[in-house]
Amino acid sequence: MKKMKLFFVGVLFLLVVGLAACGDEESSENIGANSKDKSTEETAGEEDSDKNEVIQENLLDWETSNFEESGNKIIPVEEGNLPETPNSFLTFANDGIFILGGNWQNYFYDYLNGSMSAYDLDGIGNPNQSNEIGAWTYLYDKYFYSINNEEENPEESQIVEVNTETGEKQVFMTVDETSHIVEKDRILYIAENANFFAYDINNDENLWEIEPDVNFNVINIQATDNSIVLLGDEGLAVYDLSNGEKRYEVEGYFEDIVVDGESFYVLETDEEALFELENPIYNVYRFNQETDEGEKLFTTPEINSSSEYGELELGMDNDNIYVKTKYGVLAYDKDNANALWTVLIGEGLVQELDETVTDDFQVVYNNGKVYIRTSIWGTTPGPETTFTVIDGKTGEMLENYAIGAGEAFGPVVDGESVVLFQSDETKGERQLKFYVIP
CA distance 129 to 338: 46
Quick check: 84 pLDDT over 90? Answer: no
CA distance 116 to 406: 19
pLDDT grade, residue 304 (50/70/90)? confident
Q: DSSP assignment, residue 121?
A: -
CA distance 75 to 185: 34
- Give 126-129 contacts, CB < 8 A, sequence gap 24+: 126/169, 127/160, 127/162, 127/169, 128/83, 128/104, 129/104, 129/105
Q: Please give the pLDDT value at position 1.
A: 38
Which residues make beta-bridge pairs with 37?
296
Q: Are 142 and 125 in contact (CB under 8 A)?
A: no
Q: Are 144 and 161 in contact (CB under 8 A)?
A: yes
Sort strands 263-269 and 282-288 into parallel, antiparallel or unpaired.
Answer: antiparallel
CA distance 258 to 127: 27
Determine, yes or no, domain membership for 348. Answer: no
Q: Tell me: the pLDDT tens digits for 192-211?
A: 988 999 999 999 999 999 99
Q: Please give the pLDDT value at position 54.
A: 84
pTM assigned to the model: 0.86
Instruction: Give me the domain span that covers residue 16.
Output: 1-33
Q: Please give the pLDDT value at position 344.
A: 94
Q: Please give the pLDDT value at position 11.
A: 33
> What end-to-end distance do the CA atoms of the chain give, in Å?
46
Please report, as a single letter, which amino acid is at residue 161: E
Cβ count within 10 A of residue 206: 13
Cβ count within 10 A of residue 374: 24
Which residues make beta-bridge pairs with 381?
none
CA distance 393 to 332: 9
Determine, yes or no, domain membership for 48. Answer: no
Q: Are 119 and 143 in contact (CB under 8 A)?
A: no
| pLDDT above 70 coverage of the chain, percent | 80
CA distance 239 to 330: 31
Q: Tell me: the pLDDT tens digits for 59-72?
A: 999 999 999 999 99
Determine, yes or no, domain membership for 20. Answer: yes
Q: How many residues does the chain have?
A: 438
Which residues make beta-bridge pairs with 334?
none
Sign of the four-CA dihedral 122, 124, 125, 131: positive
Which residues make beta-bridge pairs with 196?
191, 210
Determine, yes or no, domain membership for 131. Answer: no
Nearest to 299 by CA among 79, 49, 78: 49
Q: What number is the average pLDDT over the span 322-344?
A: 96
Task: Give CA angle at 24 (21, 27), nearest 5°.
Answer: 115
Helix (H, G, I), strand (E, B) or coil at 301: coil
Helix (H, G, I), strand (E, B) or coil at 324: strand
Q: What number is the average pLDDT over the span 237-258?
A: 96
CA distance 247 to 105: 38
Q: Please give the pLDDT value at position 119.
A: 76
Number of structural domains, the chain?
Answer: 1
Q: Please give the pLDDT value at position 29.
A: 40
CA distance 295 to 285: 5
Helix (H, G, I), strand (E, B) or coil at 350: coil
Determine, yes or no, domain membership for 24. Answer: yes
Quick check: 80 pLDDT over 90? Answer: no
Q: Please give the pLDDT value at position 380.
A: 60
Average pLDDT, the chain: 83
pLDDT grade, residue 353 (50/70/90)? low
Buried b (16+ CB within 10 A) or exposed e, 334-357: beebebbbbbbbbebbbbeeeeee
Instruction: Report the half-sphere exposure of 313 (CA within 13 A, side-chain side).
Output: 16
Q: Please give the pLDDT value at position 44.
A: 36
Determine, yes or no, domain membership for 317. Answer: no
pLDDT grade, residue 15 (50/70/90)? very low
Determine, yes or no, domain membership for 54. Answer: no
Q: DSSP assignment, residue 308?
A: S
Q: Are 137 and 144 in contact (CB under 8 A)?
A: yes
Determine, yes or no, domain membership for 103. Answer: no
pLDDT grade, residue 221 (50/70/90)? very high
